Amino acid sequence: MSEPGGKPDARTRAVVAARPGARAWIGFGLSDRAEAVRERLAAALNEEREAGRFFLWLPVAAIVGVLLFFSAGRDPSLWAAAAVFVALALAAWASRARPAGFPAAVLLAAVAAGFLSAAARVELVAAPILEKPLRAPVVGSVERIEPRPRGMRLVIAPEKLGDLSPAQLPERVRVTVAKVSGISAGDRVSVEALWRPPPGPARPGGYDFAREAFFMGIGAVGSRAEKPVVLPPGPLTFGQRAAAHIDRLRNVVTSRIVSVVDGDPGAIAAALVTGQRGEISNGANEALRVAGLFHVISISGLHMALFGGALFGILRFGLALIPGIGLRYPIKKWSAMAALLGAAGYLALSGAEIATQRSFVMIAIVFLAVLCDRQGITMRNLGVAALVAVLLFPEAVLGPSFQMSFCAVMAIVAWYEAAGRRAPDEIRGAADGGLIRFLRLYFGGIIATTIAATFATAPFSTFHFQRFAVHSLPSNLVALPVVGLLVMPWALVGLLLMPLGLDGFAWRIMGFGIELMLAVASWIATWPFATISIPAFPVSGVLLLSLGLIWVAVWTTRLRWLAALPLAAGVMLASMPERADVYVEPGGRAAAVRGPDGRLHVIGVRFASFAAGTWLAADGDTRGVRDKSVTEGVLCDSSGCTAPLPDGRSLALTWTYAGLAEDCSRAAIVVTRLVAPPSCRDTAYVIDAADLAGGGAVALFRNADGSFAPRVARGDDDRIWHGATAPPEGPLFARRVSEAKEPAGGGFDQTEIEDDDTPDMDVQ
């Protein structure tokens, strides 16, 4: 506040005078009005510091360190990262008596800690990655089996892969095979397939499956697999036997659920319990995406909280009914400990994916706070959970699950904090104010928190998936109470009763709740403008939007209004996307060209449907890869395909040397999985096997003079998860890389979709 004339009032002067170090935060030498603003800011900062809000910036600083690590052009040295962290930690200790220097030093040390955690994690999980495509049998133990719509996906710990030496052998490989009976986790099998290194991004700046596979220990993915052959068992370590037992249990539970509940409700119920989502139909997945409910089928903090919270509530209520126990013993702590152990069991049963591990860390900290007689759900506990998750799983920071989940919880907690400050007596007295008052606060809280979570997650859903579910608010308002009352609590009941054989009714109730959720999703998906496609925007936009959201949630004083600056800048960047004119798939099997109509037209949809879908989404194009208009204007023969450019020239995708000789003389852009002769570059812009091996996927942006500016997925990066680049081998390279076969009669079917083991990207 201020007195007439713009001078600070007595309260502000007193606060600043009582804080000798306050002036160090802002600066000196300003006019009277600026001096008043400075003193207000100093008072606000000191108020935030006394409230302990500066601690909440520690996980943010650690995230900055992780992002710096992953943005480096080459792999940083672990020892250098450790040395920097030790130096900054010592500097923070030395400056602990300085009111301005100490917080800054601690934040820098937290940045270094995030950087170091990422470097250490890379060293911990580093394993060989296949260098070049190889068709050979793999022999090894099955670690995990996941049902898929057209088969089952196996994760195998290989003992042998072709003629690779032990030093070249990946830690794990993944392949999708036809459904066969008699195979379970722990079995020793032989599978012949075409093995390739995990693919990198389908477009520059896109989802990098190679990086995710590296942190999962997967060094090769297989396709065109033969039927698996079960071999005599071999020795297993204790960890392998335990993992195999858990995976067999997961499949038993999945089979039991789908035997009781048919169709998509059964598949989704199984996914919510065991994490196996492979048998959910594409139609159900799409309806949930359009309605903004896809996060429900990916086990996250919501499910862990509902599962652990239901177990906590049931146990505490049951113990409270026994006066001899409820009045004499700390049943709240007993229930919290049991719920923590139950959540750990749910973590193991659901597959213990990174997103689920991070969710478990969050709920574990809440229950540990209860055990320590502290309030469970607070912004400080959320900050502790975020800091622990970042330091344990730094790679998760880059994924939509981490970003959306933490920001959603952050927004909800911030809203409740603000509501508690505005009407603390009303919030605390809800239970004593009658049913009407309780219901008003309950449903009002659901609406408010849903709005907060929707806005908090919108930047990340649009950045990663290039779509925004317009009606996600009403769909979540209807569906989440159903999930909280009819789905997750009955999943807990079903698991508890399964050993007794009395679980059938629980799965049916759970299936009924899921049917209601699917009905809501299907209905809302038919509403006008149900989803908006948003072209891919630069990472700087989502970083600024993230900063604005965190700024609003962390501060409690008028400082939060400064969030308008990064939010406005982020929205501006998001509204100015760059659309590429040409995309080239990293294997050289497909390309997309912006045609005269301004839309992308895809060559080679059959061989790279995942990449084609990624390109269309990044362009803000709502057409699916099966839409016939996607291949309009594409002409093919036995040598390759051509597509027109807006200026009348053409792009040629060539897969034979005979066709390459012709296309080099007449096409403006030549894309080939072969090694093009040097003379071809004199007459055309060439992207060949050598270019793709070194840079991965390519995007071309047309300049005003008709030339093209390239942007490659790998750029100058030399990161361990991309593996060693195998040099192309001339004419043999084409036959080694591609499993596509040229039809005898000439021409290529542009509508047949590939069935490779394509990457998955989860949300929340």
Answer whether residue 754 shows pLDDT above 70: no
Arithmetic mean of pLDDT, 421-448? 63
The reply to whether 51 and 145 lie within a common domain is: no
The reply to whether 553 and 528 lie within a common domain is: no
Arithmetic mean of pLDDT, 700-718? 83
Beta bridge partners of 642: 635, 652
For residues 679 and 717, the answer to whether their CB atoms sit within 8 Å is no
Between 740 and 259, the more confident residue is 259
The reply to whether 107 and 154 lie within a common domain is: no
The reply to whether 69 and 51 lie within a common domain is: yes
The reply to whether 225 and 277 lie within a common domain is: no
pLDDT band at residue 401, thresholds of 50, 70 and 90? confident
Answer whether residue 66 shows pLDDT above 90: yes
pLDDT band at residue 24, thresholds of 50, 70 and 90? very low
Question: What separation in angstroms does the CA of 563 have from each of 538, 553, 567?
Answer: 20, 10, 6
- Coil, strand, or helix at residue 258? helix
pLDDT band at residue 442, thresholds of 50, 70 and 90? low
> Domain boundary at 95, 125, 155, which?
125
With 0-12 CB in 10 A as exposed, 13-18 as middle and 19+ as buried, what is 40? buried
Between 1 and 651, the more confident residue is 651
**746 in a domain, yes or no?**
no
Kindly state the helix (H) or strand (E) to which residue 218 belongs, with its residue range. strand 218-223
Pick the closest to residue 252 from 488, 486, 501, 483 (CA basis).
Answer: 501
> Domain boundary at 208, 236, 264, which?
236
Q: Each residue of 719-730: pLDDT tens digit? A: 888 876 655 554
- Coil, strand, or helix at residue 151? strand
**672 in a domain, yes or no?**
yes
Q: Each residue of 291-307: pLDDT tens digit? A: 888 878 777 766 787 78
Q: Each residue of 163-218: pLDDT tens digit? A: 899 999 999 999 999 888 888 888 899 999 999 899 889 899 888 899 999 999 99
The number of helix segments (H) and strand segments (E) in the chain equals 26, 18
Highest mean pLDDT: which range of 300-304, 442-446, 506-510, 602-606:
506-510
Pick the closest to residue 604 from 590, 623, 585, 614 (CA basis).
Answer: 590
**57 in a domain, yes or no?**
yes
Task: Kindly write down the DSSP assignment for every residue of 162-207, as one continuous string.
Answer: TT--GGG--SEEEEEE---SS--TT-EEEEEEEEEPPP--SSTTS-
For residues 619 and 602, the answer to whether their CB atoms sit within 8 Å is no
pLDDT band at residue 86, thresholds of 50, 70 and 90? very high
**758 in a domain, yes or no?**
no
In this prediction, residue 718 carries a pLDDT of 76
Residue whose tokens read 């072709």? 162
Answer whether residue 507 shows pLDDT above 90: yes
**763 in a domain, yes or no?**
no
Between 15 and 92, the more confident residue is 92
Structure tokens, 60: 């943010």
Residue 52 domain boundaries = 10-125
Answer whether residue 746 shows pLDDT above 70: no
In this prediction, residue 87 carries a pLDDT of 95
**Distance between CA atoms of residues 700 and 388, nearest Å:** 41
Instruction: Give the CATH number, domain containing residue 171.
Output: 2.40.50
**Distance between CA atoms of residues 299 and 356, nearest Å:** 6
Work out the mean pLDDT of the chain and round it to a whole number. 82
Arithmetic mean of pLDDT, 256-284? 87
Kindly state the helix (H) or strand (E) to which residue 764 belongs, with its residue range. none
The reply to whether 714 and 591 lie within a common domain is: yes
The reply to whether 54 and 188 lie within a common domain is: no
pLDDT band at residue 1, thresholds of 50, 70 and 90? very low
In this prediction, residue 27 carries a pLDDT of 46
Share of the chain above pLDDT 70, in %: 86
In this prediction, residue 18 carries a pLDDT of 47
Task: Kindly write down the DSSP assignment for every residue of 397-454, as one continuous string.
Answer: GGSHHHHHHHHHHHHHHHHHHHHHHHSHHHHHTGGGS-HHHHHHHHHHHHHHHHHHHH
**761 in a domain, yes or no?**
no
Pick the closest to residue 194 from 128, 132, 149, 129 (CA basis).
Answer: 132
The reply to whether 155 and 14 lie within a common domain is: no
DSSP code at position 640: E
Pairing of the two strands 151-161 and 229-231: unpaired
The reply to whether 291 and 434 lie within a common domain is: yes
Residue whose tokens read 């992002």? 67
| Residue 45: alpha-carbon gap to chain centroid | 34
With 0-12 CB in 10 A as exposed, 13-18 as middle and 19+ as buried, what is 285? middle
C-alpha atoms less than 13 angstroms from C-alpha of 427 in its C-beta half-sphere: 11
In this prediction, residue 370 carries a pLDDT of 85
Answer whether residue 7 shows pLDDT above 70: no
In this prediction, residue 740 carries a pLDDT of 34
**762 in a domain, yes or no?**
no
Answer whether residue 238 shows pLDDT above 50: yes
The reply to whether 93 and 115 lie within a common domain is: yes
- First-residue to last-residue Cα distance in the chain: 42
> Domain boundary at 520, 548, 574, which?
574
The reply to whether 223 and 189 lie within a common domain is: yes
Answer whether residue 5 shows pLDDT above 80: no
In this prediction, residue 425 carries a pLDDT of 55
For residues 2 and 39, the answer to whether their CB atoms sit within 8 Å is no
C-alpha atoms less than 13 angstroms from C-alpha of 592 in its C-beta half-sphere: 34
In this prediction, residue 417 carries a pLDDT of 81
Arithmetic mean of pLDDT, 572-600? 89
Answer whether residue 607 shows pLDDT above 80: no
In this prediction, residue 81 carries a pLDDT of 94
In this prediction, residue 676 carries a pLDDT of 86
**157 in a domain, yes or no?**
yes
The reply to whether 259 and 111 lie within a common domain is: no
Taking the CA atoms of the chain, what radius of gyration do you get in angstroms? 28
How many domains, in total, are found in the chain? 5
Identify the weakest region by mean pLDDT among 117-131, 544-558, 598-612. 598-612
Identify the weakest region by mean pLDDT among 129-138, 187-196, 571-580, 743-752. 743-752
Beta bridge partners of 172: 218
In this prediction, residue 433 carries a pLDDT of 53
**Distance between CA atoms of residues 45 and 466, nearest Å:** 37
In this prediction, residue 689 carries a pLDDT of 86
Answer whether residue 707 shows pLDDT above 90: no
